[in-house]
Chain A
Amino acid sequence: MRETLRVRLFFVFGGIFFLLFCSAARNLPPWGSYRGPYGDVIARVSVYERHATDVVNAINYDYRAMDTLGEEFILFTAVLGVLMLLRREQVKVNEGEKIDDRIRLSLTARASAMPALLVTVVFGFYIGLHGQLTPGGGFQAGVILASAPFLLYVCENTESFRRVTSHRALEVIEAAGAGGYAVIGLAALALGVPFLTNFLPLGTTGDVFSSGTIALISACVGFEVTAAFLLAGYAYLQEIIAGETPEE
């Protein structure tokens, strides 16, 4: 189909779709007047029953933990897919083909990368450890932690970046994070309660070690997400890195 025809046809039918959407929206409750009941009931009970003050994480890692298990495996599958698609069919890099056309950074930029990296790692752990209490949790922490090694690459320390991100243990960590989630669920099953039921003491509300399995699951997610983003990033970069650094 020619592009002009395609776009014109789209304006007709896409317009109909838009209008249908708008006419449906007219029957929605007016903006700003959420009616419940699901969210309100959970907001009421979760602090007492789960000792978790961040209700969103209580939902994610407990009330609707099965969703999050599925989402973790979506992440896991997608990264497996990326690794599979970008796998190297054969080693093609040879000496004559070194291409290194990177823009050189100033000394200041390179020097400030190391402190930035440290701050990122500390901040990542901070976010991760407080998931059940304040905004944060394994997922956000994972993305923050995963961004730290990329600073190495940015500040031209390619060799250290390669050593971190191409480590064989990374895939094991990723799988252990995803599998660990399932194992926490199965542990509940082994104790005779339904899958993913909390089986740890709940602790004092507001304490870092409170709310039982929520923190544990959040940690698993954190490991998985960190490893997943590093693996995906390296999968894209491996060819370029191989061209920049001498192959042993």
Chain B
Amino acid sequence: MTANQAFSLTPLPVVVPMAGAAVMAGLRKWLSRATVDSLGILFSAITLAVSICLLSGAVHAPMVYWFGNWHPRGSVILGIGFVVDPVSAGLTVLASSLTLLSLVFSWRLVESGSNHFQPLMLIFLAAMCGFSLTVDIFNLFVFFELMSTAAFALCGLKTAEPAPLQGSFNFAVTNTIAAFLILTGIALLYAVTGALNMAQIGLSLGGRHDSLVLFAFTLLTCGFFIKAAIVPFHLWLPDAHAVAPTSVCVLFSGLMVELGLVAVARLRFLVFAQTFLSHEPQLRAVLFGLGTLTIVIGGLMCYGEHHLKRMLAYSTICHSGIMLLAIGAGGAIGFSALMIYLVAHAFIKGGLFLGSGILLHRLRGIGEKTLFGKGRSLRWTGLLWFLGAAGLAAAPPFLTMTGEANLFHQASDVGSSWISWACLLGGSLTCAAVLRVGMHTFFGWGTEPITDEAASIGELPETDAGDRRIFWYQYLPTAICMAVPLALVLRPGWLRVASEACARFASQAYMLPLVYKGMASSGPAPVLSVATADAMWHGTVALVLAVLLACSSVFRSRIRRPLRLGAFLERRLTPLRAMQSGHPGDYVLWLTIGVATIGLANVLLFS
């Protein structure tokens, strides 16, 4: 297929799932469950195929696609454009493969309302694809809203209990406020630039950094931070994950949260590229501060939770912090660190959620205490679970390690190599939590697990109680999720292409002519391959620390009191737990505190 043919497919990753969803939703009363399931798998497979075509075209030559054939007139951009470069096309591939995997997993298994679930999943996919591809800031907002709306609905799928409705209410309130913050930011930028295309806004803003631009920056980043679950905006995420069906959690944690960070990166590199030229160290300080705070709180709470999905949700918060550090480090290598880590994390976290879905289906429970010792017969699930744990710690054979290697490289370039310690802490805490659950569930080692109040939310299984068999099509997606981050390390040829694409994405000088003229100038020099020895060492240490920490929890009755660090962490996180109050008013308050503090810091530091 020639590049031109490939580019006429540009709208399809958005339109195919949308059209599919319309067909399935319109006919849902007449179609059987199996038919709707197969249609869902079919449409997401088509989307995957189209996205792969786009990606292969974009690797040869990135291009811009104007809807309605409205090309820019001089410096004014009339219509809405999609930029197809390897980064955005790669994100659509990731989105459609995760959706495909989770739809295969939920084939005739997960509760689907009256066939409401599958069309909602497809709309969610369409929104994620549009969000990745668009270069128009209001269109970004529209897809943000579409993604959120589908997510709210999917989150409240299990209407038989009160918890899902509260979880999705909190989720909906915070994320709707996020949308309004973003819209206000867009309006402010529009007022001073008269443009909605991000390239045009960036061009017309130049190096301006008065209180208006800084406030718009605050609003936009905070809006996307809410989606990305950066502390103190993270509170909705554990609630939403605790109540959403497993296959939905895969998409939430795997990509939706991270897309918030990609949007922040897009803003930083394209819209506000020159705003912070003279204040790079201050910007780094703000982002590093937020990232580290997120890692510490996310990591600690991850270890302190005993509800499997909540625990994994907190681990997502922690890893989101690590990815924020990559944005903070900046530069081409920092951005490639973000993207590589994102891909690896998406599959690993997806695999872990699918694993917990298997446990919930088979063992009818999601609390660590309920599962204690019951999983001895689930050998394959156990193996995949422990592989996932190692992946979270960024241990050597996993792709997460390559991402961290890039991050450390960039961080030492900007003189903040201390952030590798933050990554070490985050990786080992989340890995330890997953290991602890694994040891308890699959081996039944040690004393009975400690538990907490929230551990029994949504214990009502999402599947039919009559049939507790597990089929190959539940194992297969889980295994694929774990295999991909390993396989991508074994074939490192793509890393060079990826880092070149990331370097271009992160360069305003490259993106502006691409958007305006539709052709790529010679991009910035591709990044040299980064030495991974340092990161290997780090990952191994994180894994060892995690094993020690998990053991100090599991075998707490056999070791001396001062050594029971794990058990101490599980019991004594009361102030952090109090923050997670489940009260929407509290969440809005924390959100206001976050926006006000970040806004004040921005104004004080940059003007």
Contacts and interface: CB of A to CB of B under 8 A. Distances in A.
When A and B assemble into the complex, do they touch directly, with CB atoms less than 8 Å apart?
yes
B470 interface: no
A84 B116 contact: yes
Interface in A136-186: 168, 171-172, 174-176, 178-179, 182-183, 185-186
B18 A182 contact: yes
B576 interface: no
Nearest to A61: B68
A85 B153 contact: yes
With a 10 A CB-CB cut-off, give which of B26, B29, B165, B188 has the most chain A CB atoms. Answer: B26
A71 B23 contact: no
B123 interface: yes
Contacts of A122: none
A23 interface: yes
B192 A28 contact: yes
B159 A73 contact: no
Interface stretch (B75-83, B288-296, B454-462): B75-83
A28 B210 CA distance: 10
B15 A185 contact: yes
A13 B593 contact: yes
B78 A42 contact: yes
Contacts of A3: 585
B245 to A, nearest CB: 12
A38 interface: yes
B596 A38 contact: no
Given A24-B211, A85-B159, A66 B67 contact: yes
Contacts of A36: 194
Contact of A6 (B79, B113, B586): B586
Interface stretch (B51-59, B84-92, B135-143, B360-368): B135-143
B78 A66 contact: no
A118 interface: no
A198 interface: yes
Interface in A1-51: 1, 3, 6, 9-10, 13-14, 16-17, 20-21, 23-29, 35-39, 41-42, 45
A2 B139 CA distance: 40
A75 to B, nearest CB: 9
Contacts of B211: 20, 23-24, 26-27
A77 B567 CA distance: 44
Given A63-B70, A70-B143, A77 B27 contact: no
A174 B26 contact: yes
Contacts of B509: none
Interface string A48-84: 0000000000000011111101110110111011011
A172 B29 CA distance: 10
A178 to B, nearest CB: 5
Contacts of A195: 10-11, 15, 65, 67-68
Interface stretch (B144-152, B269-277, B326-334, B479-487): B144-152
B583 interface: yes
Contact of B23 (A37, A78, A175): A175
Contacts of A1: 581, 583, 585-586, 589
Contacts of B123: 73, 76-77
A186 B15 contact: yes
B28 interface: yes
B39 interface: no
B158 to A, nearest CB: 11
A246 B81 CA distance: 55
A229 to B, nearest CB: 16
B22 interface: yes
A215 B80 CA distance: 20
Interface string B150-168: 1011001101100001000
A24 B212 contact: yes
B443 interface: no
Contacts of B119: 80
Contacts of B113: 84, 87
B531 to A, nearest CB: 43
A37 B190 CA distance: 10
Contacts of A189: 8, 11
Contacts of A28: 188, 191-192, 212
A80 B160 CA distance: 18
A116 interface: no
How many chain B residues sit at the interface, stated as a range, is 35 or more
Interface string B266-309: 00000000000000000000000000000000000000000000
A101 interface: no
Given A73-B18, A73-B123, A74-B142, A38 B196 contact: yes
A175 to B, nearest CB: 3
A194 interface: yes
Contacts of B75: 37
Contacts of B603: 20, 23
A196 interface: yes
Contacts of A29: 191-192
Contacts of A85: 153, 156, 159, 165
A70 B114 contact: no
A45 to B, nearest CB: 8
A76 B26 CA distance: 11
A197 interface: yes
B19 A183 contact: yes
B22 A179 contact: yes
Contacts of B599: 16-17, 20
A37 B214 CA distance: 22
A182 B15 contact: yes
B126 interface: yes
B218 interface: yes
Nearest to A44: B73
With a 10 A CB-CB cut-off, give which of A9, A45, A76, A193 has the most chain B CB atoms. Answer: A76
A93 B157 CA distance: 23
A245 B252 CA distance: 43
A49 to B, nearest CB: 9
Nearest to A65: B68
Contacts of A69: 18
Contacts of B568: none
A66 to B, nearest CB: 4
A33 to B, nearest CB: 10
A80 B25 contact: yes
Given A9-B589, A17-B596, A84-B157, A41 B76 contact: yes
A74 B600 contact: no
A25 to B, nearest CB: 8
B215 A24 contact: yes
A65 B67 contact: yes
Contacts of B23: 175, 179
A89 interface: yes
B69 interface: yes
20 contacts: A24-B212, A24-B215, A24-B216, A28-B191, A38-B77, A38-B194, A63-B68, A66-B134, A66-B136, A73-B18, A77-B149, A78-B153, A84-B156, A87-B113, A87-B114, A175-B22, A175-B25, A175-B26, A176-B22, A185-B11
Interface of B: 8, 10-11, 15, 18-19, 21-23, 25-29, 65-70, 73, 75-80, 113-114, 116, 119-120, 123, 126-127, 130, 134, 136, 138-139, 142-143, 145-146, 149-150, 152-153, 156-157, 159-160, 165, 188, 190-192, 194-196, 210-212, 214-216, 218, 581, 583, 585-586, 589, 592-593, 595-597, 599-600, 603
Given A13-B597, A66-B139, A178-B22, 6 more contacts: A26-B212, A27-B212, A64-B80, A171-B25, A186-B19, A197-B68
